[in-house]
Amino acid sequence: MSGQHTLPDLPYPYDALEPYISRQIMELHHKKHHQTYVTALNAAETNYAKTTTPKERIALQAALRFNGGGHINHSLFWKNLAPAANEGKGNGGVLKEGPLKQAIDSTFGSLDALKKEFNATTAGIQGSGWGWLGLNPTTKRLEITTTANQDPLLTHIPVIGVDIWEHAFYLQYLNVKVDYLNAIWNVINFEEAEKRYTEGVSGSKL
Ligand SMILES: [Fe+2]
């Protein structure tokens, strides 16, 4: 079946991540940007199903990769966020004792050290892309990595993904990407991250 993807609902209201991510950003990001990837992915898959030659199929690869990646990445991103605990709104930003915290402490030394390394690595992305905390499927170790444009993470199992496109922060943080990166840790859903981590360690496919 092709062309059947739909925009998933956010698991919280548009203003739920304030003050760290504004309602305006969340509405545009979800209703406009993510919707555009879904619409274009459906169109590309519909066209792909009608192709009759390899040349026609090759011509659609870029659209499938870009819009398919955009849909995959944003669907993960919304679930990776949660209203901030330090605003009394939810569980965002809180890493409880458990397997993920143990892995972060043993790999990076502390959550603060992970944040510092993650922010430094993702701040270095040239142009648009994504920052990832991923599980290396071979070594079962946590690693920080990046992907360009809307490329999904294929080398690792994604545990946390952060959108580093300007559309994710510019309306609130302007050109100061590092302020966005510092702020977003207040709304990271570590419970979701731990779920992805433990499923990845146990070998199930995400
Ligand atoms: Fe985005």
Instruction: For the chain, report the end-to-end CA distance as a whole number of angstroms.
Output: 20
- Give the residue numbers of the binding site: 29, 74, 163, 167
Question: Where does 23-81 sit in CATH, by number?
Answer: 1.10.287.990
Give the Å distance between the CA of 54 and the centre of ligand 1: 31
Separation of 76 CA from ligand 1 center, angstroms?
11
Question: Could you tell me the two tokens for 32?
Answer: 């406009």
Q: What is the CA radius of gyration of the chain?
A: 17
Question: Where are the domain boundaries for CATH 1.10.287.990 in the chain?
Answer: 23-81
Enter the pTM of the model.
0.95
Q: Which residues make up each annotated binding site for Mn(2+)?
A: 29, 74, 163, 167
Cα(30) to centroid(ligand 1), Å: 8
Buried b (16+ CB within 10 A) or exposed e, 59-75: eeeebbebbbbbbbbbb
Centre of ligand 1 to C-alpha 129, Å, is 9
Write out pLDDT tens, residues 84-119: 999 999 999 999 999 999 999 999 999 999 999 999
Ligand 1 centroid to 130 CA: how many Å?
9
Closest by CA position to 177, among listed 162, 164, 188 = 164
Residues of the chain with CATH 3.55.40.20: 99-201
The CATH number of 99-201, from 3.55.40.20, 3.20.20.70, 3.10.129.10, 3.30.470.30, is: 3.55.40.20
Q: How far is the CA of 55 from the centre of ligand 1 (A)?
A: 30
Give the span between the Cα atoms of 45 and 67, in whole angstroms. Answer: 10
Q: What does the block give as tokens for 174?
A: 């302007």
Mean pLDDT over residues 165-191, rounded? 96
What does the CA dihedral 85, 89, 90, 93 come to, rounded to 10 degrees? Answer: -30
* Averaged pLDDT for residues 137-154: 96
Per-residue pLDDT at 203: 79
